[in-house]
Amino acid sequence: MQISSRFTVALHIFTCVEVFKDEYKVTSDFLAGSINTNPVIIRKILTQLKNAGLIEVARGTGGITITKPLTAITFYDVYEAIEPVENGDLFRFHENPNPECPVGRNIHALLDRKLQAIQSAMEDEMKRYTVEDLRSGTLELIANE
């Protein structure tokens, strides 16, 4: 299991929008320069964030607006927008374990609650961090350069 880089790219996007909003028109091309990736990838992620109601995007060179206070957008909100999990389950269980095998017929009973607890712990931890943490941390690091 690995969360794709789209999640960290989305966090990078939020940070750029907030840090540069008063100095530059933050567009997909601008973001692609900061992230060092193709603007098409940025536009796909922006679409996901827009569909989740976290940002608004003005066509052309209009720029990006964050729709909620930064303290109200958690890493989990971004994760949910970018990495939707199938049926709400982070872990995909192998299909059709052998019911004739004592391990196969019991594996769900052994793992289901444990895997759900692991997923819940990760999600709870993601809810502790906000986009504001990134903005303020970035400004602090820039000031200390």
In a domain, 79, yes or no: yes
Residue 145 lies in a domain: no
- Answer yes or no: are the C-beta atoms of 54 and 82 closer than 8 Å: no
- β partners of residue 15: none
- Look up the pTM and report it: 0.87
pLDDT per position in the chain (145 positions), as tens?
568 899 999 999 999 999 998 998 899 999 999 999 999 999 999 999 999 999 999 876 668 999 999 999 999 999 999 988 777 788 888 888 999 999 999 999 999 999 999 999 999 999 999 999 999 999 999 999 9
Residue 67 domain-assigned?
Answer: yes
Residue 22: give the domain boundaries: 5-138
Domain count, the chain: 1
Contact criterion met (CB below 8 Å) for 70 and 18: yes
13: CATH:
1.10.10.10
